[in-house]
Amino acid sequence: MVNLLFIGDVFGSPGREFLKLHLPSLISRYEANFVVVNGENAAGGNGLTPEVAQELFSYGVDVLTSGNHIWDKKEILPVMDTEQRILRPLNYPPGIPGRGSGVFQSRDGDPVGVINVCGRVFSPQNLDCPFRALDVEISRLKTITPVILVDFHAEATSEKVAAGWYVDGRVSALLGTHTHVQTADEIVLPNGTGYITDVGMTGSYEGVIGVKKDIILKHFLTQLPVRHEAAKGKRQLSGVFCRIDSSGKCEKIERILIRE
């Protein structure tokens, strides 16, 4: 049995501090033995640094997934090939640093496969097809473990919903990230895959998806480029809990939202 906690996009120091405050009690409450966090915005709201990654690991995080912003802090590049607990999207071109999947151990010794992919709809990057990339990687990981989690990092709701149906019965859970707004559609699909369109954001909700609201309002009103800064103020933690049986089927998915 794998009791999975997945925490959505941690945004800057407000998100890290709120995660540190609440993660121990969540691990206890759900008897979690495997914790995954999307950390692509954890360093100042843009990217990830080696120091911030180690900070998150020290809180009890087992694996960090990411997305298109993983490259925003160049300091992370030298460690992408050595720190296997940090994943970047699988469907980037070959030859770039890091890897898009891995097999890890839960705290009870069960192998858990984790795959990180980016969607393509409304994406500025020219990425390989995430559906075909999933086909190949799911087949490979299935020879190692029946428990497989997918972080599907994408803009379009339709693409994430389609991906959930596409992998139903082949992975334990497909959890959407990237839009920073938690959706209320958590479900165990007919063939045993836990699904939610977007897990949501961990950081200050007194802003615009984690960024100071005045900065974003200025951008919308003037169309001039702005430098993003993490919003301060009241914070939230967004996540999901999945209980996964030994065959890799999701028995339960529960949405988590904690606000101050």
| Binding residue numbers for Fe cation | 9, 40-41, 68, 153, 178, 180
Quick one: tokens of 181? 């707004």
Q: Which two tokens stand for residue 43?
A: 């360093």
Q: Show binding-site residues.
A: 9, 40-41, 68, 153, 178, 180
Widest Cα–Cα separation across the chain: 54
Report residue 150: phi and psi, to 5°.
Answer: -120, 125
Per DSSP bridges, beta strands 148-153 and 111-118 are parallel
What residues contact 112, with CB distance under 8 A and at least 6 apart? 2, 4, 34, 103, 104, 105, 106, 145, 147, 148, 149
For this structure, is 22 an active site residue? no
In the chain, alpha helices (H)? 12-30, 50-58, 130-142, 157-167, 213-222
Output the six-digit token pair for 133: 């990339």
Residue 21, CA distances (Å) to 27, 42, 123, 204, 235 in order: 12, 15, 33, 14, 11
Burial class of 169 by CB neighbour count within 10 A (0 to 12, 13 to 18, 19+) = exposed
Q: Hey, what are 110's tokens?
A: 């069960």
State the catalytic residues: 69
